[in-house]
């Protein structure tokens, strides 16, 4: 999804489905046909009584055989002791750019995607770009979403020449909607754990149903949410061909226990690199996002699930355990009943 953002410096009616793990967050919308995403090679030895001829220089080297004074004698008389070849010009000769050098390191897409109408394009597409709610890590505003024309050109550039041009505007709207949902999940996680594990546990220990209430209570004690520095998105990368360990485990469990775990593999995966303020210092946290398609609503509306969590590091492992464990313990131990009876 996010890979379509090409940054140089009517969302359709959707349904929202709630779900417990393995899919913690659900968003609805009309999906694209797929979230299309991202896809590299004898020297003859001569033995003779006669002196061996000098070996030819490499294509990028100097044609004068500097290493053999006897072969340079005639050239030395004609050109004195200086080499007639301008090595500076050779070093400055242009070389073909590699593919990675042509890509924007912030989103691994081409630095610019054309707004021009594609050849044989039968329907005009808007060129306006919507601004997201996602702040850039550079601090100069928010990331921008692609225009429908840029989306279409990007699809063609990646080889999806059978794309229905009339569906591109809906694809852009769904793309933007899912990215906004993913970012909101990240912001909520940072609000919970961005100021330390102890605070995160205080918010998580009464289960997910009470987490937002606990978060607002704690933020009010701290002086309000304004005191919390919002995270920013530094860069992101699409990895549709690399299944996350969690997604792979869920696929395996689906084969063993299909009634509970069976689901289609995620149709996309992204890694988002987010800033976190830790005691006044910026820390980069990598978030992993799996995009799932769910069974459609009875009305026919398709459903998407977003599984958003920090990548597994020692700190992130504790955060994930607190959030999952706090919710499981609260529900399994009858937390509401215990609190109402005065027990803790």
Asked if residue 15 has pLDDT above 50, the reply is no
Asked if residue 171 has pLDDT above 60, the reply is yes
CB-based burial of residue 256 (10 Å sphere; 0-12 exposed, 13-18 middle, 19+ buried)? exposed
The answer to whether 104 and 113 are in contact (CB under 8 A) is: no
Q: Convert the pLDDT of each residue in 256-268 to its tens digit.
A: 988 888 888 999 9
Burial 23-54, CB ≥16 within 10 A → b, else e: bbbbbbbbbbeebbbeeeeeeeeeeeeeeeee
pLDDT value of residue 341: 73
Q: Give the pLDDT mean for 276-301.
A: 89
pLDDT value of residue 22: 43
Asked if residue 218 has pLDDT above 80, the reply is yes
Alpha-carbon span 220 to 231, nearest angstrom? 19
Q: Decide which of 299 and 229 is more confident.
A: 299
Q: Decide which of 15 and 272 is more confident.
A: 272
Asked if residue 255 has pLDDT above 70, the reply is yes
Q: Convert the pLDDT of each residue in 187-198 to its tens digit.
A: 999 999 999 999
pLDDT value of residue 96: 53
CB-based burial of residue 20 (10 Å sphere; 0-12 exposed, 13-18 middle, 19+ buried)? exposed
Beta-carbon contacts of 137 under 8 Å, excluding residues fewer than 6 positions away, are: 232, 233, 234, 235, 273, 275
Q: Decide which of 324 and 260 is more confident.
A: 324
Residue 238 CB: number of other CB atoms within 10 A?
22
Of 1-10, 146-155, 309-318, minimum mean pLDDT range: 1-10
The answer to whether 96 and 109 are in contact (CB under 8 A) is: no
CB-based burial of residue 62 (10 Å sphere; 0-12 exposed, 13-18 middle, 19+ buried)? middle
Alpha-carbon span 7 to 63, nearest angstrom? 45
Beta-carbon contacts of 311 under 8 Å, excluding residues fewer than 6 positions away, are: 271, 286, 287, 288
Of 22-26, 96-100, 325-329, 337-341, minimum mean pLDDT range: 22-26
Local confidence band at 279 (pLDDT 50, 70, 90 cut-offs):
confident
Asked if residue 183 has pLDDT above 80, the reply is yes
Q: Please report, rounded to a whole number, the percentage of residues in the chain having pLDDT higher than 70.
A: 65
Rg of the chain over Cα atoms, rounded to whole angstroms, equals 29
Our CA angle for 275, 280, 284, nearest 5°, is 20
Asked if residue 172 has pLDDT above 80, the reply is yes
Q: Convert the pLDDT of each residue in 46-55 to its tens digit.
A: 334 444 444 5
Local confidence band at 12 (pLDDT 50, 70, 90 cut-offs):
very low
Local confidence band at 248 (pLDDT 50, 70, 90 cut-offs):
very high
Alpha-carbon span 114 to 34, nearest angstrom? 22
């Amino acid at each position: 999804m996010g890979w379509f953002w090409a940054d140089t410096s009517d969302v359709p009616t959707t349904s929202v489905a709630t779900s417990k793990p393995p899919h913690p967050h659900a968003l609805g919308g009309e999906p694209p046909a797929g979230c299309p995403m991202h896809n590299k090679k004898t020297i003859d030895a001569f033995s003779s009584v006669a002196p061996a001829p000098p070996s030819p220089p490499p294509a990028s080297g100097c044609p004068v055989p500097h290493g053999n004074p006897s072969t340079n004698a005639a050239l030395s008389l004609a050109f004195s002791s200086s080499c007639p070849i301008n090595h500076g010009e050779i070093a400055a000769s242009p070389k073909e750019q590699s593919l990675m050098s042509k890509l924007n390191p912030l989103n691994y897409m081409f630095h610019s995607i054309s707004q021009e109408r594609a050849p044989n394009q039968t329907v005009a597409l808007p060129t306006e770009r919507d601004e997201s709610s996602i702040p850039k890590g550079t601090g100069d505003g928010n990331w921008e979403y692609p225009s429908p024309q840029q989306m279409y050109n990007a699809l063609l550039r990646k080889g999806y020449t059978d794309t229905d041009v009339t569906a591109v505007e809906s694809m852009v709207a769904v793309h933007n909607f899912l990215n906004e949902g993913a970012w909101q999940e990240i912001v909520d996680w940072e609000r919970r754990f961005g100021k330390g594990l102890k605070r995160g546990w205080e918010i998580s220990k009464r289960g997910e149903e009470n987490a937002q209430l606990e978060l607002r209570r704690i933020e009010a004690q701290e002086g309000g949410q304004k005191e919390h520095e919002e995270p920013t998105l530094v860069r992101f990368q699409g990895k549709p061909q690399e299944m996350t360990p969690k997604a792979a485990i869920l696929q395996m469990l689906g084969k063993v226990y299909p009634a509970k775990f069976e689901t289609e593999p995620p149709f996309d995966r992204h890694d988002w690199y987010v800033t976190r303020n830790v005691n006044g210092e910026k820390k980069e946290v990598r978030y992993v996002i799996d995009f799932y398609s769910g069974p459609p609503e009875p009305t026919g509306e398709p459903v998407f699930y977003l599984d958003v969590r920090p990548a597994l590091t020692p700190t992130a492992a504790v955060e994930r355990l607190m959030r999952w464990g706090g919710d499981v313990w609260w529900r399994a131990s009858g937390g509401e009943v215990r609190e109402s009876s005065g027990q803790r």
